[in-house]
Amino acid sequence: MVRGAKGSRVTLVVKKPSDEITTIRITRDVVVIEESYARGATVQLKGGKTFGYIYLPAFYGSDSGRTARSDVQRLLAEMRNRKVAGVLIDLRTNGGGLLGDSVELAGLFIDKGPVVQTQVGGGERQILEDEEKGTAFDAPVVVMVDRFSASASEIVAGALQDYHRAVIVGTGPTHGKGTVQIIADLDRLMRGKDELGVFKVTVQQFFRVNGESTQWKGVVPDILLPDPAGHIEAGERSLENSIPFSKIEPLPHRTGPRPGRCPSWSRSAPSGSPPATSSPRSTPAPSCSGAQGRHQGAAATPPAWLAQPQGKPAPPIERRVPPT
């Protein structure tokens, strides 16, 4: 009864426990739940630098044109204006969403190049790339993940790790959802002759720029933190018949230095609004002379600004070194 065309009116007659009858007239409209969209904040250390925080619950899109990428880009622009020293992207519990939006969001932090590759059962591959020059944000980036970060979240975290663009921090490997399924309606195929239900078929698999699949293995953080939910079985690894991890040929891609090793990252973020340009990005990608190259699988070194404040000991952490 409450559903209807936007702008139309509906009258509700409510009877209270006291037997009093109240008439309520409302106008139908679109209900926007802001908690389901990206949101951010800035945190200033006492007597120190200011850092940005962006929480992204999903990779979404809408008929109105609002997308995860556009919302995050807007938040990054605001944080650049506030001269933040770095930003933390929180992808914890983000189960994924639109593939194209994840590619575009990763492109906000890299200067052109492949983001993810897909492969179908017959072996045909497709490369999804960031085709825009420049970056929307060139200060240090930390990406937070957990075992419930899946699919599109793993594509973004994996790409930024492969490009050495961010330090990945989490309580363990991500969910490991690196496949695409379609639902085949068997009843429709049988045209009502038999009730057979539906059939879920895996048709594609995701592979990172470095050639590794996000399936089963997930994205392994550069820095591991204690896991308060470690007793909960979750992820593709916990499923009895999950598709195993696999690897294909890596894609050529230009990487920056490991986060924390680039002298140019010590500079302040640019202030003011981006200058007018035909591209929505205007900031050149971060670089250090002689530091560009292919991914070599070395251990990530967390930047100095991740260090714990004096007098507050850091919790036990484990650094993992990917195989070379």
**Alpha carbon distance 28, 303 (integer Å):** 51
What gap in Å lies between CA 257 and CA 289, rounded to an integer? 10
Work out whether strand 141-145 and strand 113-120 pair parallel, antiparallel, or are unpaired: unpaired
Which residue from 172, 275, 281, 187 is spatially nearest to 222, judged by alpha carbons? 172
| Annotated catalytic residue, options 90, 177, 213, 222 | 177
Q: Is 151 a catalytic residue?
A: yes
Instruction: Give the Cα separation of 48 and 70 in Å (integer).
Output: 30
Q: Name the catalytic one among 101, 130, 146, 162.
A: 162
Active-site choice (151, 213, 217, 222)? 151
One DSSP character per residue, 235-289 reads SGGGSTTPPPP-B-PPPP--B-PPTT--GGGGSPPPPSSPPP-SSS--BPPP--T
Contacts for 30 with CB less than 8 Å, ≥ 6 apart: 6
Residue 259 to residue 143: CA distance in whole angstroms: 12
Residues catalogued as catalytic:
151, 162, 177
